[in-house]
Structure 1
Amino acid sequence: MKTLRISRLGMAVRGALLLACLPGLALAQQASDDVKTLDRVEVTGTRIKTSEAEGLVPVQRLSREDIDRTGLTSIGDIIQALTGSGSALNTKFNSSGNFGFPADGSGVGAGSAQVDLRHLGSKRVLVLVDGVRWVNESSASGVGASTDLNTIPLAIVERIEVLEDGASSLYGSDAIAGVVNIITRRDYEGMQLRTQLGQYDEGDGFSKGLDFAWGRSGARSNFFLGLSWTDQDEVFSRDRAQSSFPKPGTGLAFGSSATPTGRFIFEDPNTGVVHDITPNDGASSPVYDGSILDCNRTDDYHCFSTADRFNFSQYNLLLTPSERYGAFGQFRFEFNERTSGYVKLLYNRRESMNQAAPEPIFLGPEAGTGNPLADNIVISALNPYNPFGFDLDSSTNLILIGRRPVEGGPRQFFQDVDTWYLGGGLEGLWDVGSRTLFWDVNVAFSNNKARQTNYGSYNIFNIALALGDPAACAAVAGCVPLNIFGGPGTITPEMLAWIQPVVRDRSENELALFTANLSGTLFDNWAGPVDFAAGLEHRRLEGWYEPDPLTVIGHYNGVPSLPTRGEYDVSELYFEANVPLMAENDQGSRLDLTLAGRYSDYSTGVSEFTPKVGLRWQVVDELVLRASYAEGLRAASIGELYGSASRFDREMVDPCSLGPNGEPPANPANCAALGVPAGYTQPNPQISVTTGGNPDLDPEKSDSYALGMIWSPSFLADSAAAERVDFEITYYRHEVEGAIQAIDAQVQLDLCVATLDPIYCNGITRAPTGGINGFNNRLTNLGVIKTDGWDIDLIWVFPEGRWGKFAAAWRNTLVGEYEAVGAAGQPQPQGPGIEVADSGIPEWTSSFTLDWKLGAWNAAWGIRHISELRESCSGAAGFPVCSDPANNTNRLPATTYHDVQLGYRFDWMDGFQLSFGVNNLFDEDPPICLSCSLNGYDASTYDIPGGRFYYVRAQLDF
């Protein structure tokens, strides 16, 4: 396996080095003609090549210096730290295992890093690289609808531009919440070698990386080659006090009922007594005599209690290991003064892993797995290890068996993800009369292929055969009777060999596209030139997901799923024009109108037109006002359209169950109407939920509004107080109609119990004992998502003085409204200041950075602030950890992180830079999250795993 990895990496590096030979050939035949420098460029947020980009649209730019200041090694982690970002997947999500299959068919991209803007979801953010759409991830458990930013090496990035505005009219589908445009390094001269080492103060989470960059420019060509390697070690949940139990502050109350010794709930056919028992410690071959007297038994069993529950958190990860290799080459050549071309090649490989506790085996009607092999099992009285002396039959006397075979080790999911990108194009100038037009044509092909190998899971078909009639087992080669009745160590290697397979899943996403663009001046009106951009784009998307054959036939004990395959193409035309309405006067005042529109025709039968209109008024030289309105579109993804029915185990609290301290349900009458008997206690917190795609989905549509200003006060410019001051404020509002998603499963269950409305209850079935044994949670076009808020930024550059040069940047996002309403008008629980389903929407997020430079020294101090959040106590209201038990509400207090960095540049070769930094300087722990399904943390809002992170970076230029 290791040899294969090196071989593939070697192929990529050899390919990149082959590209490196091209500049030499080209430079050898260069003419001495000067390259014509264009003063017009294309910026994110407009297709019109312009020399006056300031204030056109709200774009946040992260320079290479900004990126280096973070001390982070993933583009995803950097963007997720922006104040306008929402919750998105990253390597702090230990996410295969029981995290499940999203209803959109995308699977769980374990080890990936995604981006969410305005809390509208990563699927509604378009990711570009050099202005060209990037391929979506393939998660190895579905067909992804979001981009994995870990497929783009950080070492090749020159800057990142984040458009915080709807842009479907300019870029097409998926740009509802905004656009992230990653600009690669191009005009780079020389060589650079840099390395970084980092570690948490607990002595874990060690990370290391090595980057190499080489660039060369001639009179008519330039070339850049970047090689990158990053390796991040894991951090275990057990090594942080807060995450060492399933739910912080509750001990084993929320632990699993599947234990290494086993939990057995059944009715003794000889006495009619219902037992809920587990073997005593050390009873590897427990003896059952049927006795019970107020839980004082005379055999080798005792009544199951909270103290017997299994602490699965001891096996989980807070930070998942990830190793990434990348090679990128870019060559540009000017054929003459009016025509140039380029070619780009990228290969990136990610090898990551996540881990869960040893897989539980749940059997019987209360198992809730949705797999008939487990739910309808019959364990023979003839099984040589069965101590009860009678059949355990799901149709008569068996209620639930939970056994966790620690002998098989933890579940480990290994991901190998390969990304290829090949792009090329031509660009140039045309003279039409006295006017110059800019044109370009581009083609690109990108592929993302993922493989996930799962060790530690089980074959439920083989389990059922090994627990049944020994004669039937003996007739099948390899089958040996299984002992699930004894303690740890009673499942032998021979038994494991029969029931424990290696499960392999694969998926792939491909994107092929062609674009042609034309930009220039149409004519002059009374106020100046009317500039335009127009073009066409055709792209084809194809994706598939192939689970292991064992999973397809229903023999996999874990999360069942079926294959997915689909494809579609889209052809689009767009036009954009900037129309000056008032010419610039002596005070610098100027008014411009921007109009844009895109027509999209999908092979799935969807045809849409999305317009945009904007106004930019430069009131005076120092003040710019702007406003825009845009309609957006997001077509259903391949997984959303064609995703086959899949199931995942979702950890949920049944509102009809007694609480952990015996508290009665809040609505006993409705629970009785649903068939739940009085005194019911939920035996298994993990409920199997069925999800799947819907080929009848309509596209999402959106309306986006933005209103803002940029003020650069002239009385402060070049003064004793400041060299430059910029104050920017933007009001935003997004409304998404027909949002493609499934109602949150916990919300659906809560609303079913509270209202008995068939809208929520249809698809939820219960066993005669009261437990949920079926849960259908399919995709649909839900109602409306509305959100608005403010971005308020202040940039202050101080004049250089005796103590050096200082620059400060203060960025803030305030969320005013966030409302999600289902198709039938049901409100969803998300909102400003609310934490739900592993994601929070802080009312205020803020970042402050102070830079300092003096000679060869430089330093930075950063502050990141997240305002208070509130959440449901999720069954923990009876514990002190719940801050407001009377209202079943827990408070996540406001959290502030401080990051510092100090660097010195030595006068050695072209420069040797040594930097030392500490993130989370004051050792701020993330607040306890009781509703989060992962380790008691919100892994996308806060720094996980907590503790100081020290790093040192060395950079040599030569």
Structure 2
Amino acid sequence: MSISKERLLTSTMVAGLAAFSVLSVMPSAAMAQDQSQDDEEEAAELGDVVVVGSRIRRDTYNSPSPVTVITRDDAVLAGLASTTEILQGTAVTGGSAQINNLFGGFVVDGGPGVNTVSLRGLGPTRTLVLLNGRRVAPAGSRGSVGSADLNVLPSALIERVEVLRDGASSIYGSDAVAGVINIVTRDNLEGIIVEGQYNATTDANGEGDQSRFSVAGGLSGDRWHLIGSAEYYSREELTVGARDWAHCPTAGFTGEGAAFGFSDYIDPMTGESKCFSLDNGGVTINTIGTAARTGVGAPGSVGTAFNRWRPNSAVTTGLVGFEGVGGGANNLSVRDTFDPDMLNNSLYSPVDVTTFFVAGGYDLGALGNAEIYAESLFNRRESSQVGYRQLALDYATGSPLVPAQIAALAPFAPNQGLNPGSTVQARAFIGFGNYDSWQTVDFAKNLVGIRGDFFIPDWEYDVYGSYTSSESEYTSEQFLTDRLVRSLNVVAAPVGTPDYLVRGGFTCAANVGAPTTMCIPAPFLNSATIGGDLPADWVNYVFRPVTGVTKYTESVFSAGINGPLFTLPAGQIQTYFGAEYREAEIDDTPGLDSQNSNTYNFSTAAITRGTDSVWEVFGEIEIPLLANVPLAQELTLTASGRYTDYESYGDDTTYKVGLVYTPVSFLTLRGTYGTSYRAPALFEQFLGATAGFIGSGNDVCNDYDAPGVNPNRAANCASEGLPAGFTATSSVRVLQAGGAAAGLAAETSSNLTIGAILQPSLPAGWGDLSFAVDYYEIEVDNGVDQVGTGYILSQCYNSTPAEFASNTGYCALVERNPATNGLTVTNGYVNIATDVLHGLDYNLRYRTDVGPGSLVLNASVTNYITRESQLFPTDPVFNSVGTLNDPEWSATASVSYSWDQWRTRWGVEWIDAMSDEDDYFARNGESLQNDYGIDSSVDEYFLHSASVQWSNDDVTATVGVRNVFNERPPTASGYWVGGIGNSPLYSGYDFVGRSVFINLSKSF
């Protein structure tokens, strides 16, 4: 049957398709209302289609679930240079934080350089990504590979992106908890299209440009068709130092906490708030630690007794050549913590992506007019990051590398660091400088299938198999502990020792009598060494690349049939039945030095290795109950069910029911309720034990005796023997591991969505209006996740002294070393008792004729109402909505005007103000009346973009500006918030700044 334009608009919108803000899109099949009459007639002749959210073929896009469709043309008009930018935009994600190239220097699932998407903020492992209706396997590096990497998706041939923000596990499988994203490529193309795009930043310091070039083409015969593309995408590095707002992160105290001893440290050298290191004060550099003694203090210091010193050749008394910068009542900020080399760190890490995609089909003329079809996707990602390292060198008592005035002091510490079995005379906290990490990820997916008419009239079958592999080689420059230890153990060099083994008359002790053993002695402890001026031969000896390899494979075999059962007065009952088998395997082998804990003060990792498989059978039915009767133009019931049997976690069933009701032409009501069952991802089950470090500022016992601190915390910190005014000097060690051995269970969830679409008939000439609203509730039980190091520490130390002493609950995950006072926290994968999310989506579209063309206004608003989680059922419940990186409100809007061959667009993205203050104090049992004088809140954020496009039959040119007003990310109290400069690290903000873009395409 044919469909009217109005009907298509109503059904396609579902969750407000016509009101997609940033991209202002309508699917090409449904056409925007300002397209030509020819396009409208073509759309009215639309045949059977399958849209994400259902496997049933329909002659409309009608669905009870909210679906948004993004077209390629509108993505170009918005200036988005990659598929990642399309899928991670505020309009798709509703403002929830995403992992992109901002996080190259952080430990993330999938490894550095990975780009993932998380719907509803529930994490990428709960969002399923499809390519042409078939799942995209995980890709990346390191042991936590478990989600699709958006880098692998082909951009050149994308026709549209369908986004289902509703649970669909019963339709697609266990990982479709929060929603599904389906990337649909063109299925036919005659000729060749060449396209290029360049996004150039306008900042005076440059950096961060993006470019993309692609060639796509297709050809066909009477019984066959072939389409393919080749493309290259590059993102240049954007360093921290290239943006002036990131140059000087400060504590950011407001001054209101000064009465309690909380205020910015004013650098006596500048008279301004002191710049801290990028981890907000957790790094000490250009300093040595010794046993306490009297000496001359540096500017800003107090007292005369010190145990931290900075080179100063002008000092001739006390510890000659050094000034005191720590110990006693001295503020830690007297020490050096900031190095200009830190500004070389990657803000956006660079990446080069090469992608080849080919698809085709051949009509057999047999087996039910069957077509054999195939797809092949090949992708290579080359990414890298620049970071900063501190190097702490321990010089042993009696070492000839220690100068006389320091050798005369008492030993600093016993048997620790780089001098096993010896006491430490002095520890040099050296600002080593920058180090590099890089990754190469090769991804390949091959698929072949057959589809045709089933032997039952009007039924069709589809059977396919696919094999996907991701192989990554990842490298990071590391200090090797064994070489550092060997180089620090020196003796006088015997006559005839090879020159490369000698430094100032000394050689490594291990080399005496064995000159063939390569070892370069450590540098002397002097001002040059302390300042990071290190001998190149020694650096090349102790600082080496460590390489690991990650392999992930997935095999899928799927079969299904669909068609009508019989006809009711309101229409045909449509069904789908299918079965699927999937098998996945992960094998991550870190470098031997990483496995053997031989990487000094850096993360270590064990081998991650495991497999899992699942058999599933599933079905779906659509029943038209009423149609074209009074108060029921349409009433359609849908239902689906799936039986799942995992090798690892056994079996379960899931279901989903939905209803679409149109009582009158201008109103459609819809709703769904469904359940999900998700077995933990392979890395969540089998991740090898991984150790890493976070800054010492994360120790919750810092200044535990300050006014206003939770009394339980103060008592618990004191019970460990920590002195008053305690300040941690050791990084917090964090252990992560898979949870299979600890009894990790599968998670279950439920998802309720209720919505309405309003399309009133406006007076003639007033245009067309569509409005959609959807309310959703998602509840995850036994959710698989990591609690977070900070949360574990706060909950442990804020527990009652009796609970703390019992070493149970959260405290079972915390251990403090009584000799060094250093903390170790186990943050493995566990089953969180409950994870609850409530929210609303609003979508609006208005279109009217103005002058020679048409005006289209789109707006999309997301309101998160509740986001709560608990590890144990007895834990207090906190609603994190409105805290940093978790906005309560976000919105996108655009207005476009089209006439003749021209189209213009203005777009706006908005992120609500956010604050951690109430949440922080509530979680830590402290009162806002005893304010620290922090401002861990950020203002609302607006981002504007503008563009203009001209096109004819074979050429399209688009130019525009993103972030028109060069809006910078908002700032907060940097010492408490962390991030870049004083800005929270949040994907919803634009850290690049204003950029101009141009896109040109030519058809041949």
**TM-score over 0.5 for the alignment?**
yes
Q: How many aligned positions are there?
A: 866
- 2:479 and 2:599 in contact (8 A); partners too: yes
What residue number does 1:555 align with? Answer: 598
What residue number does 1:374 align with? Answer: none
What residue number does 2:609 align with? Answer: 565
What residue number does 2:893 align with? Answer: 848
- 1:94 and 1:934 in contact (8 A); partners too: no
What residue number does 2:49 align with? Answer: 41
What residue number does 1:381 align with? Answer: 398
Give, in whole Å, the separation in 1 of the partners of 2:123 and 2:242: 31
What residue number does 2:112 align with? Answer: 110
Give, in whole Å, the separation in 2 of the partners of 1:189 and 1:248: 60
2:910 counterpart (839, 849, 865): 865
Pair 1:445-2:467 in alignment: yes
**1:875/1:427 CA distance change after superposition, 3 Å:** closer
Q: CA deviation at 1:299?
A: 4.2
1:478 counterpart (491, 507, 518): 518
Q: CA deviation at 1:828?
A: 6.5
Q: CA deviation at 1:505?
A: 1.7
Give, in whole Å, the separation in 2 of the partners of 1:900 and 1:754: 50
Q: CA deviation at 1:830?
A: 5.8
Pair 1:339-2:331 in alignment: no
**What pairs with 1:449-848 in structure 2 (closer than 5 Å)?**
449-455=471-477, 457-468=478-489, 470=491, 472-475=509-512, 477-483=517-523, 485-486=525-526, 487=528, 488=531, 490-525=533-568, 527-557=570-600, 558-585=602-629, 589-651=633-695, 652-658=697-703, 667=711, 668-684=714-730, 686-695=731-740, 696-715=743-762, 719-722=764-767, 724-756=768-800, 757=803, 758-768=808-818, 771-799=821-849, 801-827=850-876, 831-835=880-884, 840-848=885-893
- 2:290 and 2:412 in contact (8 A); partners too: no
Q: CA deviation at 1:843?
A: 1.2
**1:230/1:739 CA distance change after superposition, 3 Å:** same
Give, in whole Å, the separation in 1 of the partners of 2:438 and 2:992: 25
What residue number does 1:170 align with? Answer: 171
Pair 1:306-2:333 in alignment: yes
Cα deviation digits, residues 334-376 of structure 1 (max 9, x gap) = 223721121111111111111111x22346xxxxxxxxxxxxx
Give, in whole Å, the separation in 2 of the partners of 1:946 and 1:662: 39
Give, in whole Å, the separation in 1 of the partners of 2:251 and 2:196: 37
Q: CA deviation at 1:87?
A: 4.1
Q: Which amino acid aligns with 2:946?
A: V
Q: CA deviation at 1:88?
A: 4.6
Q: CA deviation at 1:585?
A: 2.3
Give, in whole Å, the separation in 2 of the partners of 1:84 and 1:46: 19
**SS of alignment partner, residue 880 of structure 2:** coil
Give me the identity figure in percent: 24
Q: Which amino acid aligns with 2:558?
A: T
Structure 2 portions without partners, runs of 5+: 1-44, 253-272, 295-303, 327-331, 417-422, 492-507, 922-927
Q: CA deviation at 1:796?
A: 1.7
- 1:576 and 1:594 in contact (8 A); partners too: yes
Q: CA deviation at 1:894?
A: 0.7
Cα deviation digits, residues 387-416 of structure 1 (max 9, x gap) = 53265543496598352353xx51211111
Give, in whole Å, the separation in 1 of the partners of 2:783 and 2:88: 23
Give, in whole Å, the separation in 2 of the partners of 1:248 and 1:144: 35
What residue number does 2:130 align with? Answer: 128
2:345 counterpart (307, 316, 324): 316
CA RMSD of aligned residues (A): 3.0
Pair 1:199-2:242 in alignment: no
Q: CA deviation at 1:55?
A: 4.0
Q: CA deviation at 1:620?
A: 2.4
- 2:96 and 2:120 in contact (8 A); partners too: no
- 1:675 and 1:766 in contact (8 A); partners too: no
Pair 1:421-2:445 in alignment: yes
- 2:98 and 2:118 in contact (8 A); partners too: no
Q: CA deviation at 1:205?
A: 1.2
TM-score (norm 1): 0.85
Give, in whole Å, the separation in 1 of the partners of 2:902 and 2:577: 47
**1:915/1:119 CA distance change after superposition, 3 Å:** same
Q: Which amino acid aligns with 1:632?
A: S
**1:679/1:940 CA distance change after superposition, 3 Å:** closer
Cα deviation digits, residues 587-623 of structure 1 (max 9, x gap) = 7622121111101111114211011111111222332
Q: CA deviation at 1:671?
A: 1.7
Pair 1:325-2:347 in alignment: no
Q: Which amino acid aligns with 2:154?
A: P
- 1:793 and 1:812 in contact (8 A); partners too: yes
Q: Which amino acid aligns with 1:772?
A: G
Q: Which amino acid aligns with 1:522?
A: L
**SS of alignment partner, residue 65 of structure 1:** helix
Q: Which amino acid aligns with 2:683?
A: G
- 1:323 and 1:350 in contact (8 A); partners too: yes
**SS of alignment partner, residue 996 of structure 2:** strand
**SS of alignment partner, residue 521 of structure 1:** strand
2:224 counterpart (221, 225, 231): 221
Give, in whole Å, the separation in 2 of the partners of 1:825 and 1:465: 51
Q: CA deviation at 1:253?
A: 4.7
Pair 1:65-2:73 in alignment: yes
**1:500/1:829 CA distance change after superposition, 3 Å:** farther
Give, in whole Å, the separation in 2 of the partners of 1:645 and 1:133: 29
**1:219/1:619 CA distance change after superposition, 3 Å:** farther
- 1:88 and 1:121 in contact (8 A); partners too: no
Q: Which amino acid aligns with 1:70?
A: A
Q: More deviation in 843-852 or 75-84?
A: 75-84
Give, in whole Å, the separation in 2 of the partners of 1:195 and 1:674: 62
Give, in whole Å, the separation in 1 of the partners of 2:426 and 2:78: 50
Cα deviation digits, residues 619-644 of structure 1 (max 9, x gap) = 22332211110001221111111111
**1:420/1:741 CA distance change after superposition, 3 Å:** same
What residue number does 2:32 align with? Answer: none
- 1:733 and 1:788 in contact (8 A); partners too: yes
What residue number does 1:150 align with? Answer: 151
Give, in whole Å, the separation in 2 of the partners of 1:646 and 1:828: 29
1:904 counterpart (932, 950, 956): 950
**SS of alignment partner, residue 609 of structure 1:** strand
**SS of alignment partner, residue 990 of structure 2:** coil
TM-score (norm 2): 0.81
Q: Which amino acid aligns with 1:763?
A: L
Q: More deviation in 164-173 or 438-447?
A: 438-447
**What pairs with 1:249-264 in structure 2 (closer than 5 Å)?**
249=252, 251-253=274-276, 258-264=283-289
What residue number does 1:242 align with? Answer: 245
Give, in whole Å, the separation in 1 of the partners of 2:377 and 2:385: 26
- 1:153 and 1:326 in contact (8 A); partners too: yes
Q: Which amino acid aligns with 2:509?
A: A
Q: CA deviation at 1:181?
A: 0.6
Give, in whole Å, the separation in 2 of the partners of 1:809 and 1:423: 38
What residue number does 2:104 align with? Answer: 95
Give, in whole Å, the separation in 2 of the partners of 1:147 and 1:75: 13
Q: Which amino acid aligns with 1:634?
A: R
